[in-house]
Amino acid sequence: MTRLPGSAGFQGLTAPVASSRLTNAIAASLALGALSICLVVTVTVFTVKASMAMPVPM
């Protein structure tokens, strides 16, 4: 069974969607966002651990 060219699906022609500079800027932005989320989670975990270690004032 053979397929006819162009009968279904996408055509064989491709067009550039974004420039490589834009792609790199988006990748760097996502990496920076992921790093900042990891930093916030780490600080939160250490803050919770430190607050649990402190005695409760009565």
Tell me the per-residue pLDDT of 11-54, one tens digit each, with 9 for 90 and over. 666 666 778 899 999 999 999 999 999 999 999 999 999 888 87
Would you say residue 6 lies in a domain?
no
Would you say residue 45 lies in a domain?
yes
Would you say residue 34 lies in a domain?
yes
Domain that includes residue 33, residue range: 21-53
pLDDT on residue 1 = 53
Instruction: Flag whether pLDDT at 4 surpasses 70.
Output: no
Instruction: Flag whether pLDDT at 7 surpasses 70.
Output: no
Would you say residue 9 lies in a domain?
no
pLDDT on residue 41 = 97
Would you say residue 2 lies in a domain?
no
Distance CA 43, CA 10 (A): 48
CB neighbourhood size of 7 (10 A): 6
Distance CA 36, CA 43 (A): 11
Would you say residue 39 lies in a domain?
yes
- The tally of domains found in the chain comes to 1
pLDDT on residue 3 = 56
